[in-house]
């Protein structure tokens, strides 16, 4: 996976295209949905799980959120870029090891579950479930995540991508994590976002 993103970064730089989103606008649509988990909150902490080059932190700062932020990504290259682009050490930090993450008020995961390469559905679903447990453990007040939807147009679906069943994940989150779960599936891209409020 690192090699894949090294190639996209080399081609497009630290941009939405560099992390395999189609455009800045598409990336911001996703940010808006994910951040509904903490809308109206002030002075909260947030973990950006799979932060890439750290685009969410300046988006939140420009949007007037009052927050402290920890970005995590397994790619050392992404974390290095995130540190270069975001220089507010009092409010932001970036780590490449999950063991460096302490629980925060909220956790968000954008685009973490899409690219599976040749991994089969059953194995990838198990991976997703493990990461949802991680998001739950790392968040005190709630978490949100997005995923490509199985309701995508069949002609546009790619074999190397994972398309989740929104009904399955909604039900799982209701039964496993909280009674207060929202499924957002009414915005401009072929995916859904789930908000889990504790």
Instruction: Report CA-CA distances (Å) from 192 to 8, 166, 169.
Output: 24, 7, 10
Q: What is the pLDDT of residue 18?
A: 46
Q: What is the mean pLDDT of the segment spanning 75-98?
A: 88
φ, ψ of residue 172 to 5 degrees: the values are -60, -45
**Are 173 and 14 in contact, with CB atoms under 8 Å apart?**
no
CATH of 22-197, one of 3.40.50.150, 3.40.640.10, 3.30.1330.10, 1.25.40.10: 3.40.50.150
Q: What is the pLDDT of residue 23?
A: 66
> For residue 66, is pLDDT > 70?
yes
> For residue 107, is pLDDT > 60?
yes
Whether pTM > 0.95 for this model: the answer is no
Cα R_g (the chain), whole angstroms: 16
């Amino acid at each position: 996976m690192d090699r894949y993103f090294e190639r996209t970064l080399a081609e497009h730089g630290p941009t939405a295209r560099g992390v395999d989103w189609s455009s800045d606008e598409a990336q911001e649509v996703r940010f808006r949905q994910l951040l509904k988990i903490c809308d109206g909150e002030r002075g909260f902490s947030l973990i950006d799980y799979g932060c890439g080059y750290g685009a969410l932190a300046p988006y939140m700062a420009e949007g007037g959120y009052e927050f402290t932020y920890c970005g995590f990504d397994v790619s050392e290259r992404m974390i290095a870029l995130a540190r270069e682009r975001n220089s507010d050490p009092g409010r932001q930090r970036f780590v490449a090891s999950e063991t460096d993450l302490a629980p925060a008020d909220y956790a968000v995961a954008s685009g973490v579950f899409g690219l599976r390469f040749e991994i089969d559905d059953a194995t990838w679903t198990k991976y997703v479930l493990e990461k949802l447990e991680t998001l739950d453990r790392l968040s005190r007040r709630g978490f949100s995540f997005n995923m490509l939807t199985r309701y995508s147009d069949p002609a546009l679906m790619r074999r190397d991508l994972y398309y989740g069943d929104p009904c399955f994940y909604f039900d799982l989150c209701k039964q496993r994590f909280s009674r207060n779960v929202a499924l957002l599936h009414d915005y401009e891209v072929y995916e859904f976002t789930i908000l889990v409020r504790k």
